[in-house]
Amino acid sequence: MSEKVCVGLVGFGVVGTGMVSCLLRNTEQINARSGLPVSLKTIADLDITTPRGVDTQGVRLTNQIDDILNDPEIDVVVELVGGTDFAHTLIVKALESGKDVVTANKALLAYRGPELFELAEKKGRLLLFEAAVGGGIPIIQVLRNGICSTEIISIHGILNGTANYILTRMEESGLDFQTALIEAQARGYAEADPTFDIEGHDTAHKIVLLSEIAFGTKVSFDDVYREGITRLTSFDLNMAQELGYRIKLLAVAKRHDTGLEVRVHPALVPLSSQIAAVSGVFNAIFVEGNPLGPAMFYGQGAGGDATGAAVVADIMEAARQKACGSHRQNYYNFDHQNLTVRPMGESICSYYLKLMLQDEPGVLAQVAAALGDQGVSIASFIQQDPHAEHQAIPVVMTTHCASESAVLAALKVVHQLDGVVEEPFLLRIEELEG
Amino acid sequence: MSEKVCVGLVGFGVVGTGMVSCLLRNTEQINARSGLPVSLKTIADLDITTPRGVDTQGVRLTNQIDDILNDPEIDVVVELVGGTDFAHTLIVKALESGKDVVTANKALLAYRGPELFELAEKKGRLLLFEAAVGGGIPIIQVLRNGICSTEIISIHGILNGTANYILTRMEESGLDFQTALIEAQARGYAEADPTFDIEGHDTAHKIVLLSEIAFGTKVSFDDVYREGITRLTSFDLNMAQELGYRIKLLAVAKRHDTGLEVRVHPALVPLSSQIAAVSGVFNAIFVEGNPLGPAMFYGQGAGGDATGAAVVADIMEAARQKACGSHRQNYYNFDHQNLTVRPMGESICSYYLKLMLQDEPGVLAQVAAALGDQGVSIASFIQQDPHAEHQAIPVVMTTHCASESAVLAALKVVHQLDGVVEEPFLLRIEELEG
């Protein structure tokens, strides 16, 4: 073995460029803190001609990944191609060739993480993925090492910068969803096809990974409830504020004796909570554990620079392990029996309900009765002045804690009532302390 | 070597009890994630009879530390006695006996850390200290591993829960300093002799440690500027709020090409900043780096439970290293040339100035001229209505950025002016973005 750690990068996009840039910028520090110097030997990409604005002198550029996989000198393969098929094959081949793997691929790990972790363990190699969740926030390290003695009870995360940017702009400037989305796209914060970000897929991938690490169990992505932010209006954001809350696209994971709650949806969080203060493209992960108490980790959620730095931190971990001549276990922490994800109907929280009512006497009493029949009680209530007679007006109410199934059953009845002119709209409230 | 990690605890106080409680509570998870089972074999303390409310069945209680130091089966010595003399001897002896050491002793490490780290490195043993700074916040792990590829530019920390609790109560309820301190003592948040907390010694110990790890250099504790919170009044907290700030006891560390700034003092931070939202006994560390950008880590700063959990996390690290049969380097990261701490006079920031002025025409013009002579310009200005004629009234102003030495020179002149009836009072403003 040569006295350095040799890296092969597959995928020279935004994060790959950030990684190369970090290696070049902080070389001295990175080498001093790695145990062995980090040497980027080869970059593989379909496009190796477009300039990326970083110096690749001395690095071999190729469009053959076998130039990396079959190079015995390469210790660490960095997978930054994304997607699930090719990336899967690549990671499997790299691990089977006896190489450590660093990846930022949350989608792949959300679907097939445990299988790949098992392979890494079997091969005695590392499979590191700090860059997969919360770019600039070292949350994987924190969960796996920093607070590993604590039993995690719950995680609340703002894990998608695009969605958080849109919500921040809607709230700050009263923009409607579409306008805020277009602005985010113009600023490069949202992709041309923003579906993954605004419909919560990306957030769901990330909370699956965090839940697996935090709770020590496998989580099936398909069991995760997922709802995006496209139906939110400025009206909802204003009403939330009036009620003392702010609306965030939240990933929630909670451990119960009977299973896990893992869900992604817009939620009202108290204005006084730490997580309510997370604005723009930033991410944050709020964790409660025993005996940790509450803790929060905040930083840039995406971007080539912060995410590239996380990739480099993982490479440094691989370097340190090579330097001490021994690989430790990966400690993926699947130490608990498989806790299954409970059906969404079993979730219990308080709710924000928006109804469009014809201003007819008695409608409200019927709504209250329908909720009461399911054991759902009203906590607060805001009715707008009607602008014109006989016009439908929005009525917003919050409930005390109730199960999702009870609330949905009640709303089904409410929807059928005369005088209720639209499908009732529901948001969940997370009463975070801290 | 037996197939477990054997621990000897010296010092069975609040944190020691929290550590034992964590080991008992989360045994299954701790063992599963440690590589080897963690076994607490011996506890040494002068008092081994007072019940601590935790089960010590099967643990040897002794008041002879040699029962730990001379026990070849013990792998890890946990030092929780505090103080600098006995603890120093203990750690040296433990390392020299070939044992790993876990400590929460920030005072000792602030004075003699590098010497002890060097000894650990020489002996090939670990010296871990996650519990020394920000109990429930794994900031040492974060700096040493999580964000190790990033060049840290600055750190702003709320590192003392007692001081932060007092400031929160003064602001929330308009209490004066003494009343808030007495309340903190009654609640167990402040010690009978609160000097170390309220005068900033404890915060200074912690920022020395964080600076050393983050900047890769040794920092002399005696070079750190330190100022406590005892001179603050509700008036200052109110004025700060009116100006858009909140006052926090802040630890600040910044790296410049010419050296380090390391200082501890009350400071105004923007109300919109993440760190302004940190209230009560909580701690937070706000870090800016390249390419990381801004990031913040928030959690419980003290308390036996959170700090005990941090001790256990360090024990688990020692266990993992034993499990893989190899000790890696400690990576204390003293990779940079010794950056010395710059004199406080060279610090540059904007300032909050409070003057007591006789309401005489012309005084204010003289004050402005004295500041102007030193190149200090006034940014904003609040003058209270005088309650009675000829009574001295407080005038608060903020300045644009200036060096500390220029401001102090100007205030010396101001103090001599007719109509300035008290020594001018100065606070620093930290314009955090994020």
- B201-226 pLDDT per residue, tens: 999 999 999 999 999 999 999 999 99
Mean pLDDT over B237-253 rounds to 97
Phi (first) and psi of residue B429, to 5 degrees: -110, 130
Q: Is B270 on the interface with A (CB under 8 A)?
A: no
Domain extent listing, chain A: 5-135+304-323, 139-299, 346-429
The verdict on whether omega for the bond into residue A291 sits within 30 degrees of 0, i.e. cis, is yes
- Chain B: closest CA distance from residue A222 (Å): 27
Q: How confident is the model at residue A388, as a pLDDT? A: 65
Beta bridge mates, A298: A284, B296
User: Could you read off the pLDDT tens digit of each residue along chain A, which spans 434 residues?
Assistant: 459 999 999 999 999 999 999 999 999 999 999 989 999 999 999 999 999 999 999 999 999 999 999 999 999 999 999 999 999 999 999 999 999 999 999 999 999 999 999 999 999 999 999 999 999 999 999 999 999 999 999 999 999 999 999 999 999 999 999 999 999 999 999 999 999 999 999 999 999 999 999 999 999 999 999 999 999 999 999 999 999 999 999 999 999 988 999 999 999 999 989 999 999 999 999 999 999 999 999 999 888 999 999 999 999 999 998 988 776 666 666 666 678 999 999 999 999 999 999 877 789 899 999 999 999 999 998 887 766 666 788 999 999 999 999 999 999 999 999 999 999 999 999 998 77
Fold of A139-299: Dihydrodipicolinate Reductase; domain 2 (3.30.360)
Helix axes A161-173, A234-242, angle to 10 degrees: 80
Q: What is the value of pTM for the model shown?
A: 0.95
Q: What CATH number has the domain spanning B5-135+304-323?
A: 3.40.50.720
Question: Please, are residues B103 and B91 in contact by the beta-carbon 8 Å criterion?
Answer: yes
Q: How confident is the model at residue A383, as a pLDDT? A: 83
The distance in angstroms from the start CA to the end CA of chain A is: 50
pLDDT tens string B55-98: 999 999 999 999 999 999 999 999 999 999 999 999 999 999 99
pLDDT tens string B246-291: 999 999 999 998 899 999 999 999 998 999 999 999 999 999 999 9
Question: Please, are residues B351 and B428 in contact by the beta-carbon 8 Å criterion?
Answer: yes
Phi (first) and psi of residue B85, to 5 degrees: -85, -65
CB contact under 8 A, B146 and A146: yes
Q: Which residue of B has its CA nearest to A287?
A: B299
Neighbours of A104 (CB within 10 A): 27
Beta bridge mates, A383: A395
d(CA A23, CA A8): 13
Of 3.40.50.670, 3.90.79.10, 3.90.960.10, 3.30.360.10, the CATH number of B139-300 is: 3.30.360.10
What is the per-residue burial (b if ≥16 Cβ within 10 Å, else e) of A356-375? bbebeeebbebbbebbeebe
d(CA B247, CA B164): 9
pLDDT band at B335 (very low <50, low <70, confident <90, very high): low
Residue type, B227: E
Please report residues of A whose CB lies closer than 8 A to that of B18.
291
Tokens of B63: 């008041």
Who contacts A361 (Cβ-Cβ below 8 Å, separation ≥6)? none
Instruction: Select from B63, B14, B15 the least CA-distant residue to B42.
Output: B63
CA angle A173, A430, A395 (to 5 degrees): 60
SS3 category, B410? helix
Q: 3-state DSSP helix/strand/coil percent for chain B, to nearest 5?
A: 40, 25, 35
pLDDT for B341 beyond 50? yes
Q: List the single best residue of B15, B38, B144, B150 to mutate versus A (max A Cβ within 10 A).
A: B150
pLDDT tens string B122-132: 999 999 999 99
**Selected residues 194-223 of chain A with any CB under 8 Å from a CB in chain B:** 216
d(CA B87, CA B417): 52
SS3 category, B278? coil
Q: Is A157 on the interface with B (CB under 8 A)?
A: no
Quick one: three-class SS letters along chain A?
CCCCEEEEEECCCHHHHHHHHHHHHCHHHHHHCCCCCEEEEEEECCCCCCCCCCCCCCCEEECCCHHHHCCCCCCEEEECCCCCHHHHHHHHHHHHCCCEEEECCHHHHHHHHHHHHHHHHHHCCCEECHHHCCCCCCHHHHHHHHCCCCEEEEEEEECCHHHHHHHHHHHHHCCCHHHHHHHHHHCCCCCCCCHHHHCCHHHHHHHHHHHHHHHCCCCCHHHCEECCCCCCCHHHHHHHHHCCEEEEEEEEEEEECCEEEEEEEEEEEECCCHHHHCCCCEEEEEEEEECCEEEEEEEECCCHHHHHHHHHHHHHHHHHHHHCCCCCCCCCCCCCCCCCECCHHHCEEEEEEEEEEECCCCHHHHHHHHHHHCCCCEEEEEECCCCCCCCEEEEEEEECCEEHHHHHHHHHHHHHCCCECCCCEEEEECCCCC
pLDDT: is A69 or B432 the higher one?
A: A69
Q: How confident is the model at residue B383, as a pLDDT? A: 83
Instruction: Select from B368, B370, B373 the least CA-distant residue to B383.
Output: B368
Place of tokens 């096809």: A193
Q: How confident is the model at residue A258, as a pLDDT? A: 86
d(CA B90, CA B325): 25
Of 3.30.70.260, 3.90.1570.10, 3.40.50.1000, 3.30.70.1880, the CATH number of B345-429 is: 3.30.70.260
Tokens of B252: 């600040």
Point out the catalytic residue in the list B106, B206, B248, B354.
Answer: B206
pLDDT tens string A86-102: 999 999 999 999 999 99
**Selected residues 114-143 of chain A with any CB under 8 Å from a CB in chain B:** 130, 136-138, 141-142
Mean pLDDT over B378-393 rounds to 79
Q: Is B290 on the interface with A (CB under 8 A)?
A: yes
Sign of the dihedral through C-alpha B270, B275, B277, B282: negative
The verdict on whether omega for the bond into residue B291 sits within 30 degrees of 0, i.e. cis, is yes
Place of tokens 């219990």: A348
CB contact under 8 A, B309 and A136: no
Please report residues of A whose CB lies closer than 8 A to that of B292.
136, 299-300, 305-306, 309
Question: Is-catalytic flag, A206?
Answer: yes
CB contact under 8 A, A309 and B149: yes
Please report residues of A whose CB lies closer than 8 A to that of B331.
33, 35, 320
Q: How confident is the model at residue A391, as a pLDDT? A: 78
Beta bridge mates, A415: none
Question: Please, are residues A77 and A95 in contact by the beta-carbon 8 Å criterion?
Answer: no
Q: How confident is the model at residue B362, as a pLDDT? A: 87
Quick one: A346-429 is in which CATH superfamily?
ACT domain (3.30.70.260)
Who contacts A373 (Cβ-Cβ below 8 Å, separation ≥6)? A410, A413
Tokens of B306: 């959170």
SS3 category, B8? strand
Question: Please, are residues B319 and B38 in contact by the beta-carbon 8 Å criterion?
Answer: yes
Q: Which residue of A has its CA nearest to B307?
A: A292
Question: Please, are residues A76 and A69 in contact by the beta-carbon 8 Å criterion?
Answer: no
CB contact under 8 A, B26 and A308: no
Question: Strand B76-79 to strand B127-128: parallel, antiparallel, or no bridges (unpaired)?
Answer: unpaired
